Amino acid sequence: MQLSRDTLLKAYRQMSTIRHFEERVQEEFAKGGIPGFVHLYAGEEASAVGTCLHLSAEDHIASTHRGHGHSIAKGCDVERMMLEIFGKKEGLCAGKGGSMHIADLGQGMLGANGIVGGAPPLAVGAALAAKTLGNGSVAVAFTGDGGSSQGTTFEALNLAVVLQLPAIFIFENNEDGESTGWRYAVGSGDIAARVRGFGLPSVKIDGDDFFAVYEAAGEAVARARRGEGPSAIEVETVRFFGHHSGDPQRYRSREDVLKLREERDCIKKFRLRVTAAGLLERAELDAIDRENAALIERAVARARAAPPPEDAALLTDVYLAY
Amino acid sequence: MALKSIRQAINEALFQEMRRDPRVVVIGEDVAGGAATAGERDCAGGVFGTTKGLIAEFGEGRVIDTPITESAIMGAAAGAAVAGLRPVAELMFCDFLGVCFDQIFNQAAKFRYMFGGKAKTPLVIRTTIGAGRGSAAQHSQSLYHIFTSIPGLKCVVPSNAYDAKGLLISAIRDDDPVVFCEHKLMYDLQTEVPDEPYRIPFGEASVVREGDDVTIVALSRMVHYSLEAALALAREGIECEIIDPRTTSPLDEETILESLERTGRLLVVDEATPRCGLAVDIAALAADKAFAALKAPPKRVTAPFTPVPFAPSLEKLYIPSPERIAAAVREVVGYRR
Ligand SMILES: Cc1ncc(C[n+]2csc(CCOP(=O)(O)OP(=O)(O)O)c2C)c(N)n1
């Protein structure tokens, strides 16, 4: 498969933005200033970017608690995401949602989600709207290996097949759901095959390989746009950080985590591949990294300095306040 | 007696009941943790550490980690309860009730009555409530009023470690489904807790503080905020009686009404939202059964009628504070017809 230089650069820029964003959020969380808890996406960048590169703002995605990467890949403003994570007034959700509820409907981002299995039915709804309106757009649900066993997910898969909707289900299998291994929680031991049982095409791919994600997602999106119904992709991936920042991660060893960073880094692999093939220069990739570092630096500085929501905001955005 | 936290008290109650009765099983997500990982089994022991250590003593057969599948957890626990087990099922955050309500309120709660009194459903659902951790709209609610409103369910909302242990043991030995609501910010709160097992009966409120000027009915974390307010008010010469119902269903109406006969003034403090909640319920009780004794309209301090906001400054405003409680007491006490 041939990707244009522009697409390759865009893919690298987005994956690098997500990585810089997440590494920095982890640091800032440790320093204090970020309320609540954050679930970081570092390690899984190829999945969000390889999928969302096929989408426009008219297409919808519905995300998970681990939603920063999906949001960035779908075009959410990085500074306003950071502001939201810090709980500030100018955040994407006015500081009322936080990390777990980042949403930008204008970009077709239906929200990160605090409820595991919350996203698939919502994406089915967006796909239903697309089909009914006949506007040619599609909807993507991101779900984890843990969320793949939730009843809402099964129901959404079936409904998408029954109604032949332009929906794509991406199952990001990062091996653990909180502290429970996916091999324990997925009884059949094969997410992609289980999904196939619902009557939709479903493939398993190597999520460390951006190109594999890009290709599989491209086919699924094209199928949906042609009106041929839903498909699913199980992306085998890893998360570099714990379930949430502060997770002591006693379900895996420090060495295991270091090894993941060494051996299963989708961004490193992308760099090696495009530079070895002479498609992109190392220097231009380094320049993108530097730009991203600066972008995130600005975002954090702005978020730290920004004002919180005004107290009156407590009682706005509801139809009635008592 | 030793000082124990609510976390320890709950853990101890589970150990003691599981030793006493082999039919007691614990089921839920990450109640042990580490299943099919390269790391430690029991590395979670529940996300709040309340079920830690159980698997080592009772094994995987009785400490059951599940997939993320709340409907099946609650339904399986209800089914197992009518079929001879006494499950303690964990709903990690009460907000996840949204995923599994049918199995709780159409199934478990209905069996006894709907089957003409034949069914026993000795099921405990342990869940967590409360805002204050920056966990935003889907991980911070206090939904005990929903459980309370369902005939067939009992609902426990403990405010300290002593009560938590005694009430959990009662819940496990109860033949009806019981929802047990633990406040996420109170797990480390310590009180004296006896080592041996003991029961606290349902429907018996605890009078946390005595006073003649106003009756404050408060639940869970609000009991402590009310105590703080009462200390400040005492310096102004206002003596608050604080009643912790401990169980919202059954509700100890008698203790509240007796207190109202003396004070003639009611304030209900509730971290939950204001409509159709415990505050309304208890205010209605006063209007209904203590009208003649009332010297002032019953007053409520609750969260606003909004989802829980994320930003810490807003979340702080959302949760009833000791200052708001004290101000409300002053209003009730200062009321003139
Ligand atoms: C309905 C529901 N149940 C449980 C949780 C608690 N929880 C949050 S994330 C998570 C694990 C999710 O695992 P997975 O779907 O594999 O996503 P990952 O965290 O690995 O990205 C759990 C159990 C929740 N938020 N919602």
DSSP A61: E
The Cα-based distances of A1 to A119, A206, A233, B69 in angstroms read: 31, 16, 18, 39
Number of A to B CB contacts under 8 A, please give it.
171
- Distance (Å, whole) CA A44 – CA A208: 8
Q: What is the pLDDT of residue A2?
A: 84
B-interface mutation test, from A34, A96, A253, most B Cβ less than 10 A away: A96
Residue A23 CA to ligand 1 center (angstroms) comes to 21
Q: How far is B39 from chain A (nearest CA, A)?
A: 4
B145 catalytic residue (yes or no): no
Q: What is the pLDDT of residue A244?
A: 97
Confidence of residue A154 (pLDDT cuts 50, 70, 90): very high
Contact B139, B95 (CB under 8 A): yes
Residue A185 CA to ligand 1 center (angstroms) comes to 12
If contacts are CB pairs under 8 Å, which of residues 227-286 in chain B contact chain A? Answer: 274-275
By CB atoms closer than 10 A (0-12, 13-18, 19+), residue A199 is middle
Residue of A nearest to B275 (CA): A322
- Distance (Å, whole) CA A261 – CA A246: 18
Asked if B60 has any chain A CB less than 8 Å from its own CB, the reply is no
- Distance (Å, whole) CA A165 – CA A153: 15
Q: Is A274 helix (H, G, I), strand (E, B) or coil?
A: helix
Contact A296, A20 (CB under 8 A): yes
Q: What is the largest CA-CA distance in chain A?
A: 64
- Substitution candidate for ligand 1 out of A99, A149, A152, A178 with most atoms within 8 A of CB: A178
- Distance (Å, whole) CA A79 – CA B195: 53
Residue A147 to residue B138, Cβ atoms within 8 A: no
Q: What is the pLDDT of residue B337?
A: 85
A305-319: average pLDDT: 96
Residue B305 to residue A182, Cβ atoms within 8 A: no
- Give the tens place of pLDDT for each residue, A197-231: 999 999 999 999 999 999 999 999 999 999 999 99
Residue B35 to residue A185, Cβ atoms within 8 A: yes
DSSP bridge partners of B240: B214
Question: Which sign does the torsion angle of CA B253, B254, B260, B263 carry?
Answer: negative
ipTM computed for the complex: 0.96
Confidence of residue A322 (pLDDT cuts 50, 70, 90): low
- Distance (Å, whole) CA A160 – CA A153: 11
Position in ligand 1 atom list of the atom nearest CA A243: 19
Residue A299 CA to ligand 1 center (angstroms) comes to 28
DSSP per-residue letters across A158-223: HHHHHTT-SEEEEEEE-SEETTEEHHHHSTTS-HHHHHHTTSS-EEEEETT-HHHHHHHHHHHHHH
SS (H, E, C) chain B: CEEEEHHHHHHHHHHHHHHHCCCEEEEECCCCCCCCCCCCCCCCCCCCCCCCCHHHHHCCCCEEECCCCHHHHHHHHHHHHHCCCEEEEEECCHHHHHHHHHHHHHHHCCHHHHCCCCCCCCCEEEEEECCCCCCCCCCCCCCHHHHHCCCCCEEECCCCHHHHHHHHHHHHHCCCCEEEEEECCCCCCEEEECCCCCCCCCCCCEEEECCCCEEEEECCHHHHHHHHHHHHHHHCCCCEEEEECCEEECCCHHHHHHHHHHHCCEEEEECCCCCCCHHHHHHHHHHHHCHHHCCCCCEEEECCCCCCCCCHHHHHHHCCCHHHHHHHHHHHHHCCC
Q: What percent of chain A has pLDDT over 90?
A: 98
Domains B3-192 and B206-333 equal at CATH topology level: yes
Which residue's structure tokens are 């430690």? B40
* Whether pLDDT at A321 is above 80: no
Q: What is the pLDDT of residue B222?
A: 98
List CB contacts (< 8 A) between A181 and chain B.
34-37
By CB atoms closer than 10 A (0-12, 13-18, 19+), residue A264 is middle
Domains of chain A: 5-315 (3.40.50.970)
- Distance (Å, whole) CA A141 – CA A132: 19
Closest CA to A143 of A170, A166, A168, A163: A170
CATH for B206-333 (1.10.600.10, 3.10.180.10, 3.50.50.60, 3.40.50.920): 3.40.50.920
Residue of B nearest to A118 (CA): B99
Of B139, B145, B183, B224, catalytic = B139
Q: Is A23 helix (H, G, I), strand (E, B) or coil?
A: helix
Q: What is the pLDDT of residue A20?
A: 98
Residue of B nearest to A256 (CA): B38
* Whether pLDDT at A194 is above 80: yes
Q: What is the pLDDT of residue A92?
A: 98
* Whether pLDDT at A251 is above 90: yes
Q: Is A244 helix (H, G, I), strand (E, B) or coil?
A: coil
If contacts are CB pairs under 8 Å, which of residues 166-205 in chain B contact chain A? Answer: none
- Distance (Å, whole) CA A225 – CA A137: 7
Residue A267 CA to ligand 1 center (angstroms) comes to 25
Cβ neighbours, 10 Å, residue B238: 21
- Substitution candidate for ligand 1 out of A65, A99, A155, A171 with most atoms within 8 A of CB: A65
CATH class, B3-192 region? alpha beta
Cβ neighbours, 10 Å, residue B334: 9
Tokens of B262: 């003396």
Contact B2, B195 (CB under 8 A): yes
DSSP bridge partners of B247: B156
Q: Is A239 helix (H, G, I), strand (E, B) or coil?
A: coil
Buried b / exposed e across B59-95, counting CB within 10 Å, b at 16+? eeebbbbbbbbbbbbbbbbbbbbbeebbbbbbbbbbb
Q: Given B69, B99, B136, which is nearest A101 (Cβ)?
A: B136
Position in ligand 1 atom list of the atom nearest CA B98: 1
- Tell me the whole-structure pTM to 2 decimals: 0.98
Q: For chain B, which ranges sit under pLDDT 70?
A: none
- Give the tens place of pLDDT for each residue, B168-220: 999 999 999 999 999 999 999 999 999 999 999 999 999 999 999 999 999 99
Q: Can you give the residue ranges of every domain in chain B?
A: 3-192, 206-333
Tokens of A33: 């200033």
Phi/psi of residue B53, each to 5°?
A: 90, -15
